[in-house]
Amino acid sequence: MIQDSTLNTQRLDDIRQFVREIAIPAEAQVVRDNEIPAHIVQIMRERGYFGWSIPREYGGAGMTTEELALANIELSKAATAFRARAGTNTGIGAESIIQDGTLEQKQEWLPKLASGEVTGCLALTEPEAGSDATALKASATPAMTGSAQQWRINGTKRYITNAPIAELFTVFARTDPEDLSHRGISAFLIPRQTPGLSTGPEHRKMGQSGSPVSEVYLEDVMASSEQIVGGVPGKGFATAMKTLNKQRINLAALCIGPAMRLLDEALAHVKKREQFGKQIGEFQLVQAMLAECQVEISAARSLVLETARARDNGEDVTTQASICKYYASEMCGRVADRVVQIFGGAGYCADIGGPIEMLYRDVRLFRLYEGTSQIHLLNIAKRIMK
Ligand SMILES: Cc1cc2nc3c(=O)[nH]c(=O)nc-3n(C[C@H](O)[C@H](O)[C@H](O)COP(=O)(O)OP(=O)(O)OC[C@H]3O[C@@H](n4cnc5c(N)ncnc54)[C@H](O)[C@@H]3O)c2cc1C
């Protein structure tokens, strides 16, 4: 649902200008330094990019799912690091609070997340609990401090996006050691300065340079019951699923921007590169690869926007969100692979072919996180067979 088409158009124009004039020219520097320059992060804060999905009463833009999808498509045309920098605040790092937080939790955290003063992250995955997130071992055991109920949290989280720079961690831990199902899990809001919380060195990733990801260590971290999202233990996994349900649509949109950029790069290249005395775009086998990219991008875009609109209309889009995530991430991988093929050696060598090699590596992750393709296929099958 588009709330105000004039405002929406202005916003998309603003993002396109940011991508074209600020983000893309800085990509090589981001890859070299493995971080986004501070002045660019500041520009993103000032333009409101951290608050897209946060309700207006808490300082955000209050975008609908469809508006967020359109914005994500535009911002993700730049290297993934740019959208990942703000992306936990417009996605998994804030959504748990938006979905299930108490009024106090919303008032405390959402304005800071919306302004980008605070970077949030979501810490669910563990070394032994990836696809099977309900197998998580992090524990939160009751401990009384005076008359106040406290929780002592211990555990290790792995692969947590933005953990090295986050000030707020949404940490999932088991509050009921007897209940090994999802009902024993709670989500805690833990500020970085809490004693016992620390982060590991950045994982050395295949791609997405400039988007820091690391482990999170919790050693006797003390938290009050007021820090449980929603204030009630045992609801953490339901919160995670609501958060990820929306995030799947976000992520699908974030797969479309890179695919569009890759196709644009390929379309320009086939007009410049000549072999056998002709532009390579004149060869029908090359044209087929271009057309296949366009068909799949168009299909993914339609699917994602239709699902986003259905969610905005209050429909249950659980199955559709899985379909979006699965199709768009696989689509993006196929587009990236074809575009490397179209560029030939220049697609493989960054010094010759520019961003193609970087984008190819960046997009590989999409098929892994927030549910692997296999997990989404299983989920889709389970739901349609019901
Ligand atoms: C760079 C990066 C950033 C991430 N960011 C975050 C974050 O911010 N927060 C967070 O909590 N997590 C994050 N993750 C974790 C991510 O969501 C997990 O990596 C993902 O869920 C897969 O878990 P796994 O890596 O343990 O793989 P595994 O679960 O070990 O899966 C390995 C393989 O087995 C397959 N498989 C597993 N179970 C089944 C099954 N039942 N049937 C068929 N096949 C199966 C998988 O599809 C996969 O192919 C991130 C990961 C990475 C790499």
Q: For residue range 258-290, what is the model confidence (pLDDT) as tens digits?
A: 999 999 999 999 999 999 999 999 999 999 999
Looking at ligand 1, which atom is closest to the CA of residue 211?
1
Confidence of residue 343 (pLDDT cuts 50, 70, 90): very high
Q: What dotted CATH number matches 5-118? A: 1.10.540.10
Its CATH architecture, for the domain 121-234, is Beta Barrel (2.40)
Q: For the chain, list the strands marked E by DSSP.
A: 120-123, 139-145, 148-161, 168-174, 185-191, 197-202, 213-224, 274-275, 278-279
23 CA from centroid of ligand 1 (Å): 29
Tens of pLDDT, residues 216-260: 999 999 999 999 999 999 999 999 999 998 999 999 999 999 999
Buried b (16+ CB within 10 A) or exposed e, 308-319: bbbbbeeeebbe
Q: Which tokens sit at 194?
A: 């809490």
What CA–CA distance (Å, rounded) separates 385 from 381? 6
- Closest residue by CA, ligand 1 atom 20: 369
Q: Is 160 in the pocket of ligand 1 (CB under 6 A)?
A: yes
Annotated catalytic, 370? yes
Q: Please, which pLDDT band fits residue 312 given cuts at 50, 70 and 90?
A: very high
Q: If you classify domain 238-385 with CATH, what class do you get? A: mainly alpha
Q: Is the CB of 377 under 6 A from ligand 1?
A: no
C-beta of 122 in contact with ligand 1 (< 6 A):
yes
- What rounded mean pLDDT belongs to the chain? 96
Regarding the beta carbon of 372 and ligand 1, being less than 6 Å apart is answered yes
52, 91 Cβ separation under 8 angstroms: no
Residue of the nearest CA to atom 32 in ligand 1? 131
Instruction: Find all residues with CB under 8 Å of 263, minimum gap 6, and list them.
Output: 290, 293, 294, 297, 335, 339
pLDDT digits (tens, 9 = 90+) for 106-137: 999 999 999 999 999 999 999 999 999 999 99
Q: Which atom of ligand 1 is nearest to the CA of 121?
A: 8
Cα 330 to chain center, whole Å?
A: 16
**Quick check: CB of 364 below 6 Å from ligand 1?**
no
Question: Could you identify the residue written with the tokens 């296999």?
Answer: 374
Residue ranges of the chain assigned to CATH 2.40.110.10: 121-234
Residue 373 CA, closest ligand 1 atom number: 47
Q: Where in the chain is the domain with CATH 1.10.540.10?
A: 5-118
User: Packing angle between helix 65-75 and helix 236-272, nearest 10 degrees?
Assistant: 40
- Is 142's pLDDT higher than 80? yes
CATH 1.20.140.10 positions along the chain are 238-385
Tell me, using a 6 A CB cutoff, whether residue 382 lines ligand 1: no
